Amino acid sequence: MEAGSMHILLVEDNVVNQRLITKLLQKFGCTVSTANNGQEALDYLSSPPSISNPRPVMIFMDVSMPVMTGYEATKIIRTQPPFCTDSQILATPIIGMPIQHIIGDKAKCLEVGMNDVITKPIYPRILKQTLLRWSRWQVLQGGPGSLSQYSRVPAWGPIPLRAYRGPRSLL
């Protein structure tokens, strides 16, 4: 599975971050659906898959959002029906996106069932590495739906978005 064949669910309440991360994911060849908070993510995942609502192979989840946090949404996805009884949803890697300077967020992300963490601000190279790492992991595990345990491999350290030297059109 390559980055270009992946559908991503991006759960992010900040419109600027949502737009930037969506454009980066699209630049890497992914298709993207967005949710503005954890409840919208649960609504998306509980809807039957369709052309307009494809099942994601990876979820990027902000942790601090109104209505329902990423922590709460992830815990529900990992422990409550119908999510925990759907092998495809249960096998989908969830990548937490806390703010860089908040101590304890990375540990909390892993504790609630997220598989990996990349901190904000998001740097394009780290985002791409994360996509590739988890797409390879899915291939090695037989893809979504065949996993019984989650590997909790932390992402490489963050590099600030302000260091991004790519096209301004992505911002």
> Domain 3-170, what architecture?
3-Layer(aba) Sandwich (3.40)
**How far from 25 is each of 30, 109, 112, 143, 157, CA to CA, in Å?**
5, 22, 25, 20, 19
The reported pTM is 0.79
> What are the tens digits of pLDDT across the range 30-60?
999 999 999 999 999 999 999 888 999 999 9
What is the sign of the dihedral through the CA atoms of 107, 38, 97 and 2? positive
Instruction: Give every strand in the sheet of 58-62, ordered side by side.
Output: 31-35, 7-11, 58-62, 94-97, 116-117
What tens digit of pLDDT does each residue of 115-162 get? 999 999 999 999 999 998 898 765 555 544 333 333 333 343 444 444
| 7 within 8 A of 33, measured Cβ to Cβ | yes
| Distances in whole angstroms, Cα of residue 116 to Cα of each of 3, 15, 36 | 17, 23, 20
Asked if residue 44 lies in contact with residue 50, where contact means CB atoms within 8 angstroms, the answer is no
